[in-house]
Amino acid sequence: KIPAIGSPARTQAILNRYRLNAKKSLGQNFLNDLGVLKEIVQVADISTADDVIEIGPGIGALTEQIAQSAHEVMAFEIDENLLPILDETLSPYDNIKVINQDFLQANLPKLIKENFDGQHRLKVVANLPYYVTKPILMDILKGNVNFDATVLMMQKEVAERISAKPGNRDYGALTVITQYLENVEIAINVSAQSFIPSPKVDSSVVKLTPKQKRNVVAYDEKAFFGFAHGCFMHRRKTLWNNLQGIFGKQPAVKVQIKADLKKLNINQSDRPEQLSVDQFVEMANQFHASGL
Ligand code: SAM
């Protein structure tokens, strides 16, 4: 029996055989730690009830582990040099489709319709290329596809930002937007030694599951995201300063902002990072209602 793709010996043999040099510019750090690979699949709770989208299969280490548990896998790989390798390494599996496309350019709804039967849960699992962590995260969050779970290996620093609590220095617009949409959990911390080549930063696996119930609902999601960004434009300044940056400094505007904040019991001298996600939504809705 051939050892798993992600076992250190097999990974090394594949890299040697194809004389493959990992491309830094494409964020190629291959996982060669079977323990971590299996843990990712466990965190994602993959079963034959799931169709899974993978971003960046690389040489197929994670893809193989997912395919052994999932119904079907669709994997987006931007690097065409990896296609012949994936062809070979994943040949034992008949439930994997590799698509040679930039995930950020892919027409996901269309591809999902073409490749999945719509009778299974939909999940995203990836060991992300770190140079595009944030665009990919935003793409998944804002996209027109609803995923039942998203499990992503990313830089620990980004994982800490999206899971931060109010008052934490990592708490920012990305935190507010992500936590408005999803429950965020850091599931595994992974050392750089679990990859070949080792990345320069520590990594974490984050699990996102859609929020089923919200205390307050934004009147318009896109506008709310823009509002959240505006509130953190100058994170060392007060909420009051940032709100004037968004709405202007005209006397009538200032009076309205003050009245709205009072109504919501929010202190204008607070710093943006002190406010809860619900408070950001309440503000966005209130300012919209009062015509700001
Ligand atoms: N899944 C493999 C593993 O865990 O060993 C490889 C992960 S490696 C960190 C990231 C992979 O994403 C690389 O194979 C890289 O070529 C691919 N990639 C980079 N940018 C991409 C993009 N925009 N769309 C799809 N794949 C991308």
pLDDT surpasses 80 at 66: yes
Binding site membership of 129 for ligand 1 (Cβ less than 6 Å):
yes
Give pLDDT, residue 143: 75
Interval between CA 25 and ligand 1 midpoint (Å): 10
Average pLDDT, the chain: 97
Interval between CA 202 and ligand 1 midpoint (Å): 17
Q: How far is CA 115 from CA 107, 110, 149, 210, in A?
A: 12, 9, 19, 23
CB 138 within 8 A of CB 128: no
Give pLDDT, residue 142: 84
Q: When comparing pLDDT for 58 and 142, which is higher?
A: 58
Give pLDDT, residue 1: 83
Interval between CA 129 and ligand 1 midpoint (Å): 5
User: How many alpha carbons fall within 13 Å on the CB side of residue 222?
Assistant: 3
Give pLDDT, residue 144: 79
Binding site membership of 77 for ligand 1 (Cβ less than 6 Å):
yes
Binding site membership of 60 for ligand 1 (Cβ less than 6 Å):
no
Is the link from the previous residue into 197 a cis peptide, with omega within 30 of 0?
yes
Binding site membership of 32 for ligand 1 (Cβ less than 6 Å):
no
Read off the pLDDT of each residue in 104-117 and give the average, rounded to a whole number: 97
Give pLDDT, residue 22: 96
User: How many alpha carbons fall within 13 Å on the CB side of residue 37?
Assistant: 24
* The ligand 1 atom nearest the CA atom of 106: 24
Q: What is the ipTM of this complex?
A: 0.99
Read off the pLDDT of each residue in 180-197 and give the average, rounded to a whole number: 98
Q: To the nearest whole percent, how much of the chain has pLDDT over 90?
A: 97
Record the tokens describing residue 211, joined without a space. 């929020």
Nearest CA to ligand 1 atom 6: 58
Q: What is the pLDDT of residues 229-285, one digit of tens each?
A: 999 999 899 999 999 999 999 999 999 999 999 999 999 999 999 999 999 999 999
Say if residue 114 is exposed, middle or buried (CB neighbours under 10 Å; 0-12, 13-18, 19+). exposed
In the annotated binding site, the residues are: 29, 31, 56, 77, 102, 127
Nearest CA to ligand 1 atom 20: 26
pLDDT surpasses 90 at 51: yes
Smallest CA-to-CA distance from 171 within 41, 281, 58, 271 is with 271
Ligand 1 pocket test, pick from 77, 82, 152 with the greatest ligand atom count within 8 Å of Cβ, gives 77
For 252, other C-beta atoms within 10 Å of its C-beta total 9
Four-residue CA torsion sign, 147, 148, 151, 157: positive
Give pLDDT, residue 255: 97
Smallest CA-to-CA distance from 200 within 256, 155, 267, 151 is with 155
Give pLDDT, residue 38: 98
Interval between CA 97 and ligand 1 midpoint (Å): 15
* The ligand 1 atom nearest the CA atom of 79: 16
Binding site membership of 272 for ligand 1 (Cβ less than 6 Å):
no
Interval between CA 277 and ligand 1 midpoint (Å): 32
Q: What is the pLDDT of residues 123-162, one digit of tens each?
A: 999 999 999 999 999 999 987 799 999 999 999 999 999 9
* pTM for this entry: 0.96
Give pLDDT, residue 115: 97
